Amino acid sequence: MASTRIAAKRTALLAGAIGLGLIATGCSGGSGSGGSDQTKGVTITVAWLNPPPPKAALAAFEKSSGITVKWADIDWDSLQTKIAAAATSNTYFADATDVDWSRVGQLGKLGWFYPMSKYLDVKSMAADMPQMSSFQADGTVYGIPFDSSYMVTTVNQAEFKKAGITSMPTTMDQYTADLQQVKAKGVSATPLNIPFAAAEGLSTYWYEATNAFGGTVLDAKGQPQFTSPSSGGYKAAAWMVNAIKSGLVPAGNINVTDSQGMQNLMAKGVVASTFSDYSGNVGSLYDVPSSSSVVHDVAYIPTPGPTGTVPNLGNPDGIGIPKTAKYPKAAAEFIKWITSTQNQAAFAGADGAAKVMPNYPTPSRLSAMKLLTASGKLAQGQELTTLLSGAKPVFASGAPTWYPQFSRAVSTNLHAAAVGSMSVQQAISAIASTAKSLASGS
Amino acid sequence: MSADVRAAAPTRRPPRTSPDRRTGRRPRFDVLPYALVAPLAIFIIGLALFPAAVTLVDAFFKVQPLNPPDGFIGLGNFVRMFQDDSIVSSMVNTAYYVVIGVVLSTVLGVLFAVTLQQRFRGRSVLIAVLILPWALPGVVEGIVWSGIWDSNTGLLNSVLTSLHVISHYQVFLGQNRLVTVLVIELVQVWQITPLSTLLVLAALQNIPGDLYEAAELDGAGAWKTFTRITVPLARPGIAIAMVQAVIATLNVFDQPYVLNGAASTGASVMEQTYFVSFQNLDFGEGYALSLLITVVTILVSLAIVRIVYRAVEL
């Protein structure tokens, strides 16, 4: 009996010790004190927004490089939280992960990511990747463009034609007149798509519209450039709000985001045009018979501007190396591999369905876009390649460190103006006031 | 009819460890129970109490990685919090969420529990189905319900139009604050009511059947039986159900975030905490907001326990 009791006590003490050990391990976190330059026989973790590349492709990389890749598929919001939590607690969570263009200012100032030039020949990559500048803060590149997402105008040409419009608009005035004609002819009661939910998609839509009206959002010092009624930003806000009030935009769009909800309206032919759509949607959604009733009707058009077409604004995802990475050099090898011309083209479908990376949009390399277009697997590839080559960043000097607050001010105030709880003037004043306050550091 | 329901006397405390009367010695300290509890206690201390303590302290510090240096600022974070219109607005929204959520989930929980107390065919299956919404993540529920509330293609608009209740599609979310909050909170009520139901049902199961038989013999009707026996004796379960509803509604995040984004018509304090902490990277103010939610949760829960809870002796 006594021996049983002693054994029970030992077991209990052992359990306590194990518990303490686990806690100690958990609390100690990870490296954070600079990673290893080892590139052979190591395992790296890649935390990304989408599922991994095909197994065969990844296995080939692992075999040739000696780097084992552990892939963690995490949604965008959770990923940003994890990046911030890991960096502030100096804890390892991944060797390569998302660098969002809108957070580059923050990441640069905080030093949470390695400058990519430390591991990769960024200059030569930039020649083939027009959106590299979106990941630059104070002249330093913190992420390599993973895909070539940019804002692009899509038009249902069949509906435009039905309304008697034979040539595509090149100016905002013409574009607006065409939309009104589509509505007036009864082809579509609500021809324009704007996602008015108070979310990032509304902000980026406004940036693209501001660009189209010949304006810029912020200057190099972060000062607002949209307060005057004659400015591009003011005109863009008034145009968007007026569009929903006048019935060009479906009333229900007041709570539609730029993702599935907005795209479905286009795919179902409810609207005739999305001024700021995602590049690649024609091939991945609008031309897919199972999810679309407008197959082969939708086309990308160069973005209409004040007097003629203007360059598109970039909205890309980048991949970078957190300072808490265990194997930054191995992570760089992986980034080099996954963003190579051949792989990008294959992931987007150039080499057949078996080599497609799930949810991969379009390549960030012009050379990969050309390969993909040549393979005939990218709908309107030639147009997309041309638009990509001219795409420019939303903020020429890089996103400011306070971008998330600014973006929230943009989306919530424009949403409120669309709802009618404030005027366009009040919304613009509120956004400008936020920008001024943040730029002054208060 | 009168059921003998009364507040119980305070539970007797267990006797303290005292010297053995026969030998006069104190019993030997037994390490076993402490060792067995130690791993769990360490986990709770390490993963809950320690972070809570850090939050409590750092709520009074400036913790802004983008704007160093950090330092003690007293009530500075709290002052800024109350000067921020969007945060104040989210406090009002959250108060609405709590009132609507707690009232609806409790009323529905009691009704469902009373229904499920009856024996009928398929009862077990119904209980299993009932628990499903509680098991689903809030984000998934938000996405599912966005298909119902959607103003362009939503199920509700489609049904109401088909039934000629409305002539054209309505916008439920984002236009009117009260409607938006109500619509969002209905989704959360759908999620938390199953747990409320189970908690109340557990309390109802403890009520002896002979009380109901006696009430029936005394000629009490269904309503009188419900108000004089069921509700008073289920008060411990109802109180716990209300407390869990308070915790859930004060911390609501997924549903407003998915259904209404950052719009002031529905943003909750928890959303603002996320924005402030992980977008603005102002962790000090984020800690202050977290502390505020914790304090309010404790105070409201205590008030509910004091008002609703009664120990019952059966």
Of B35, B67, B262, the CB nearest to A198: B262
Of B38, B153, B278, the CB nearest to A81: B278
For residue A22, the model assigns a pLDDT of 43
pLDDT tens profile B269-311: 999 999 999 999 999 999 999 999 999 999 999 999 999 998 8
Q: What order of strands is seen across the sheet that includes strand A317-320?
A: A67-73, A42-48, A96-100, A317-320, A144-145
> If you measure CA to CA, which chain A residue comes closest to B170?
A252
Distance from CA of A381 to the nearest CA of B (A): 31
For residue A146, the model assigns a pLDDT of 94
φ, ψ of residue A13 in degrees (nearest 5): -65, -40
Yes or no, beta carbons of A401 and B150 under 8 Å apart: no
Q: What single-letter amino acid sits at A205?
A: Y
pLDDT band at B75; cut points 50, 70, 90: very high
Of A23, A254, A268, the CB nearest to B151: A254
For residue B23, the model assigns a pLDDT of 63
For residue A346, the model assigns a pLDDT of 96
- The full set of domains in chain B, from first to last, is 85-308 (1.10.3720.10)
Contacts of A8 in chain B (CB under 8 A): 32
Q: Which site among B58, B281, B282 would you substitute to test the A interface, given the most A Cβ atoms closer than 10 Å to its Cβ? A: B281
B66 touches A at CB < 8 Å: yes
Instruction: Give Cβ neighbours of residue B115 (< 8 Å, ≥ 6 apart).
Output: none
Yes or no, beta carbons of B42 and A20 under 8 Å apart: yes
- How far is B30 from A290, CA to CA, in rounded Å? 69
For residue A132, the model assigns a pLDDT of 94
Yes or no, beta carbons of A199 and B261 under 8 Å apart: yes
For residue B24, the model assigns a pLDDT of 65
Residues 7-36 of B with CB under 8 A from A: 31-32, 35-36
pLDDT band at B130; cut points 50, 70, 90: confident
Yes or no, beta carbons of A106 and B260 under 8 Å apart: no
Better-scored residue on pLDDT, B30 or A341: A341
For residue A20, the model assigns a pLDDT of 46
CB B291 within 8 A of CB B56: yes
For residue A361, the model assigns a pLDDT of 85
- How far is B171 from B173, CA to CA, in rounded Å? 6
SS3 B285: helix
Q: Is the pLDDT of residue B240 over 70?
A: yes
Structure tokens of A123?
A: 């200059």
> If you measure CA to CA, which chain A residue comes closest to B68?
A110
The DSSP call for residue A103 is G
> If you measure CA to CA, which chain A residue comes closest to B30?
A9
CB B180 within 8 A of CB B266: yes
Name the burial class of residue A371, with classes exposed (0-12), middle (13-18) and buried (19+) by CB atoms within 10 angstroms of its CB: buried
Q: Is the pLDDT of residue B247 over 70?
A: yes
Complex ipTM: 0.82
Apex CA A82: angle with CA B257 and CA B62, to 5°? 85
Name the burial class of residue A127, with classes exposed (0-12), middle (13-18) and buried (19+) by CB atoms within 10 angstroms of its CB: exposed
Average pLDDT over residues B34-54: 94
Q: Which site among A18, A82, A110, A255 would you substitute to test the B interface, given the most B Cβ atoms closer than 10 Å to its Cβ? A: A255
* Nearest partner of A270 among A300, A298, A289, judged by Cα: A298
CB A339 within 8 A of CB A146: yes
Q: Which residues pair with A97 in a beta bridge?
A: A47, A320
- How far is B182 from B178, CA to CA, in rounded Å? 6
Alpha carbon B114 to its chain centroid, in Å, reads 20
Yes or no, beta carbons of B66 and A401 under 8 Å apart: yes
Residue owning tokens 């984004």: B261
- How far is A291 from A284, CA to CA, in rounded Å? 10
pLDDT tens profile B193-225: 999 999 999 999 999 999 999 999 999 999 999
Distance from CA of B277 to the nearest CA of A (A): 9
Yes or no, beta carbons of B262 and A419 under 8 Å apart: no
Contacts of B65 in chain A (CB under 8 A): 88, 110
- The full set of domains in chain A, from first to last, is 42-148+317-386 (3.40.190.10), 151-313+402-439 (3.40.190.10)
CB B230 within 8 A of CB B111: no
Report the 3 state secondary structure along B52-84.
HHHHHHHCCEECCCCCCCCEECCCHHHHHHHHC
For residue A16, the model assigns a pLDDT of 47
Of B39, B174, B278, the CB nearest to A15: B39
CA dihedral A409, A415, A421, A427 (to 10 degrees): 40
CB B300 within 8 A of CB B284: no
- How far is A99 from A131, CA to CA, in rounded Å? 13
pLDDT tens profile A17-66: 444 444 444 444 444 456 899 999 999 999 999 899 999 999 999 999 99
Yes or no, beta carbons of A16 and B38 under 8 Å apart: yes
pLDDT band at B157; cut points 50, 70, 90: very high
For chain A, which ranges sit under pLDDT 50? 1-4, 6, 8, 11-32
Q: Could you write out the DSSP letters of every residue in A282-343?
A: IIIIIT-TTT-S-TTTEEEEPPPBSSS--PPBB--EEEE-BTT-S-HHHHHHHHHHHTSHHH
Distance from CA of B42 to the nearest CA of A (A): 7
Residues 117-176 of B with CB under 8 A from A: 146, 150-154, 169, 171, 173-175
Contacts of A268 in chain B (CB under 8 A): 153
Q: What share of chain A is helix, strand, coil (3-state, %, to 5)?
A: 50, 15, 40
Distance from CA of A156 to the nearest CA of B (A): 19
Q: Which site among B149, B260, B270, B278 would you substitute to test the A interface, given the most A Cβ atoms closer than 10 Å to its Cβ? A: B278
Yes or no, beta carbons of B39 and A22 under 8 Å apart: yes
Alpha helices (runs of H) in B48-176, residue ranges in sequence order: 50-58, 76-83, 85-117, 123-130, 132-135, 138-149, 155-162
- How far is B141 from A360, CA to CA, in rounded Å? 27
Contacts of B68 in chain A (CB under 8 A): none
Yes or no, beta carbons of B152 and A13 under 8 Å apart: no
Mean pLDDT of chain B: 90
Of A197, A402, A404, the CB nearest to B261: A197
Length of chain A: 442
Identify the weakest region by mean pLDDT among A307-321, B10-24, B236-250, B281-295: B10-24
pLDDT band at B3; cut points 50, 70, 90: very low
- How far is B20 from A26, CA to CA, in rounded Å? 44
Of A27, A110, A270, the CB nearest to B66: A110
pLDDT tens profile A141-196: 999 999 988 999 999 999 999 999 999 999 999 999 999 999 999 999 999 999 99
For residue A213, the model assigns a pLDDT of 98
pLDDT band at B19; cut points 50, 70, 90: low
pLDDT band at B5; cut points 50, 70, 90: very low
